[in-house]
Structures are given as structure tokens and as C-alpha cells.
Amino acid sequence: MGTVVTKKKRFEVEEDLEVDVGEATKQAKRVGRLSMIISAMRPSARTDGAVQGHHASSAWSKAFSKRSRLGLLPPPTETLSEPPEEYNARLTREEELRALDFHDPEGKLKYDAELPQSETEDQCAICTMYKRDTTLLCRVCGQPYHHGCLIGRGLGLDTNSSRAMENAESDIGWSCPDCETLSELLPMDNMSELMIQFDSYDADGDSVINITDYMEHETINYQQKNNESLPSSKARECEEMFRTYDRDNDGSVSWWDYSMVETIKWLQRQPQNKLLEYLKPKEIAKLRSFFRMSDKRNVGLVTVGESEQAYRGWLRALGLHETEEMMHSFEKSSWSDECNKMITWERFISSKALALITSRPNTITIKPFVTTREETAL
């Protein structure tokens, strides 16, 4: 600001820059947008107006330095010599990371993380022998399994599992029994509680709950609690719940069916950081590859609309495109306000952690479990 400009000179300058005045106003708005990006990404203000700060071009620094030479603006700092859009994106991401409660002690969620090479990579997880013949690789943990070892353990005998095993080498891939059994994530106390609940439904002890068992139990339960018979609206809700457990629609609910749905309810109550702890490098890498395709600047920052597009690409790749989750994602990216806001990789993976976990079960012939929850979204 120290440059002295005479009145006449300034007049000439302003005349000379008649076109640039409009440009300067635009640039000022862009500078303003930079602070908007930052404030928009702060948790307290994130729901404020849309952010469109990624259209700045090299004209920004050109106009900025011209007006600076003429003493109309302060000189640019060194960091502004970087292309503004990339600089803005990096700044936004750094600011966002400071605001986000995000823990990644193992570094597996890093944007540039690489898949670790497992020492046991070549050994079958069941017999621990080195792989030969038919081997299936788990899409979640990466462990190989001999087809024969799985069958020997009585795994893969039902239609859904055997179809999933046949598809292990397709793009959809296959999840091993350990990874797809979500109840393995439950703490012991919750697991015991769930077993007791299941037994209380399974009155005849045949290890499956049928609709009669289920409705009888719910009717008695309601009567005891409310001292009146189960109203028809509640009965319909119970029938609906039974259908949620009965994914293959065969009229019976096994322990696997029941524990899967109940574990997802439990997962929905867990904090985001807890969910992130459960994620495996291989499944993170798959979702990240779709996010990267949308991230043209390669800085780990895209618009919400682009991130949802990446998410849908991932759902499609896992054969989960005909799900409510897909519809939910379409709706989300069609809300104009949300769509143009910026989202970092870290917030994206946090909001999709539950989707990654609930996409693990093989659901080639049954209704998929994949879900996110509203409060984990932006």
C-alpha cells in the first residue's frame, strides 16, 4: 500500500483498468469464497451456503499482481504463487482436518496409503498350507481360502454362499466367513444378550425362528408390558421386522440372519471413530480408488456431488446398485445446496464407514444390508 499514486495517475490507472475493475470485483469475491470454504467446512457452520471456490484460474494471480504493482492491493504472499484452486483445496483440507475428530493411528485411512503386503498372504486361512488349486481371495481381509477347506468346514453350502463363491473372481468379489459375519464385531456381553434373545424367540429349539414363533413372542411380550393385546398396527410392524431378518424370504430366520440385523443396529449406535477402527485396508482402498477418480486436483477434496458419484460407482462395483442406499445417494447429490459443498477424503470415509462394513456380507441372492445413517452424513 506504500506506493504513492498521484490523483491524475490514479485516474488514468482506473480508466486503463476499466475492464479490470469488474475482474477485480470477481477476484475479490473469489478471495471471499476462500474464507467461505473454510468457514463452511467448520462443523458449526458447515450447513451454511454452497461453496463453489474451485473455478479460480491463473487470471486470479495475474490480476492480483497487476493491481498490486499499481499500489491498489497489498503484494501477494509467496504461497499465492501456487495455482489458487490447488492452494485453496489444500488449505480447506488442512482446516477441515483440524476441525474433524479423526483418528487414524495405523495410517490405513491416509489418502496416499498403500496396501500392506501380508506375510500370510499365500497361506490358506483354514489349513495354513500354501495355496494351490482353487483358492478364493477375500475382498475385505485379502486372505486366501481353499475351496475344499471351506466346503470341508460346512461353509458355502447354502445357495447364497455357493453363488458368492462362484463369483469370487468377478468384480463383485467374495467375503470370507470371518469378514461377512458381522456379529464377530460385537463385544462378548452384547453377543450373550443377543443369544438369549434369539433363544427366547426360538421356543421349539430348532435353531430357526419362524413367523409363528416370532409373532407369538411379540404378542406375549406386548401384553405383559402394556396389559392389552397387540394392536393391528403393531402387529404389522412386527411382521415387517420379521421380513427384515428374513433376507432370503424363506419364512425362517437363522441365527446368522438374526444376529446380522441386530449387529447392524448396534453398529448404528457406535461413534464414527469406532467404525473407522473396524475397516480393513483392502476395502478402504477400493472406495478410495473411486474417490480418486473424482478428485481432479489429487488433493483429497471433491464436491459432495462428486463424492456421491464416487460412492455410487463403488456400490455398482459391488453389485449393490439396486438398493435403497443407491437411491439415497442420488437424492443427496441432487440437493443443490449440499451438492456444491466441498468434502475431504477423511470426512467422506468417516461418513461411509458403516456402508463399508455393512457391504461385507455376500448378498448375491439375498436382500443386501448396505446402509449409512443420517447422522454420519454431512
Contact status, residue 282 vs residue 142, Cβ threshold 8 Å: yes
Gap between the Cα atoms of 48 and 153, Å rounded:
55
Considering beta carbons, is residue 63 or 141 the nearer one to Zn ion?
Answer: 141
Q: Which stretch binds Zn ion (CB under 5 A): 32-40, 117-125, 186-194, 267-275?
A: 117-125
Under rule CB under 5 A, residue 146 binds Zn ion: yes
Q: How far is the CB of 281 from Zn ion (least distance, A)?
A: 12
Options 37, 109, 140, 287; binder of Zn ion; rule CB under 5 A: 140
Under rule CB under 5 A, residue 126 binds Zn ion: yes
Counting every residue, how long is the chain? 378
Considering beta carbons, is residue 164 or 209 the nearer one to Zn ion?
Answer: 164
Considering beta carbons, is residue 63 or 355 the nearer one to Zn ion?
Answer: 355
Q: How far is the CB of 165 from Zn ion (least distance, A)?
A: 13
Considering beta carbons, is residue 154 or 205 the nearer one to Zn ion?
Answer: 154
Under rule CB under 5 A, residue 138 binds Zn ion: yes
Options 51, 89, 149, 253; binder of Zn ion; rule CB under 5 A: 149
Considering beta carbons, is residue 46 or 286 the nearer one to Zn ion?
Answer: 286
Gap between the Cα atoms of 49 and 246, Å rounded:
43
Under rule CB under 5 A, residue 304 binds Zn ion: no
What the block records as the C-alpha cell of 7 is 490523483
Q: How far is the CB of 143 from Zn ion (least distance, A)?
A: 5
Options 41, 56, 63, 124; binder of Zn ion; rule CB under 5 A: 124
Options 176, 287, 301, 315; binder of Zn ion; rule CB under 5 A: 176
Under rule CB under 5 A, residue 136 binds Zn ion: no
Q: How far is the CB of 311 from Zn ion (least distance, A)?
A: 22
Under rule CB under 5 A, residue 179 binds Zn ion: yes
Considering beta carbons, is residue 136 or 253 the nearer one to Zn ion?
Answer: 136
Contact residues for 30 (Cβ-Cβ < 8 A; gap 6+): 53, 56, 60, 84
Q: How far is the CB of 27 from Zn ion (least distance, A)?
A: 53
Q: Which stretch binds Zn ion (CB under 5 A): 81-89, 178-186, 211-219, 338-346?
A: 178-186
Binding residues for Zn ion, total number by CB under 5 A: 10
Q: Which stretch binds Zn ion (CB under 5 A): 123-131, 216-224, 285-293, 341-349?
A: 123-131
Three-state SS string across the chain, please?
A: CCCCCCHHHHHHHHHHCHHHHHHHHHHHHHHHHHHHHHHHHCCCCCCCCCCCCCCCCCHHHHHHHHHHHCCCCCCCCHHHHCCHHHHHHHHHHHHHHHHCCCCCCCCCCCCCCCCCCCCCCCECCCCCCECCCCEEEECCCCCEEEHHHHHHCCCCCCHHHHHHHHCCCCCCCECCHHHHCHHHHCCHHHHHHHHHHHHHHCCCCCCEEEHHHHHHHHHHHHHHHHCCCCCHHHHHHHHHHHHHHCCCCCCEEEHHHHHHHHHHHHHHCCCHHHHHHHCCHHHHHHHHHHHHHHCCCCCCEEEHHHHHHHHHHHHHHCCCCCCHHHHHHHHHHHCHHHHCCEEEHHHHHHHHHHHHHHCCCCCCCCCCCCCCCHHHCC
Considering beta carbons, is residue 253 or 364 the nearer one to Zn ion?
Answer: 364
Considering beta carbons, is residue 138 or 304 the nearer one to Zn ion?
Answer: 138
Options 31, 89, 141, 357; binder of Zn ion; rule CB under 5 A: 141
Considering beta carbons, is residue 140 or 284 the nearer one to Zn ion?
Answer: 140
Considering beta carbons, is residue 59 or 127 the nearer one to Zn ion?
Answer: 127
Under rule CB under 5 A, residue 353 binds Zn ion: no
Which residues are near Zn ion by CB under 5 A? 124, 126-127, 138, 140-141, 146, 149, 176, 179
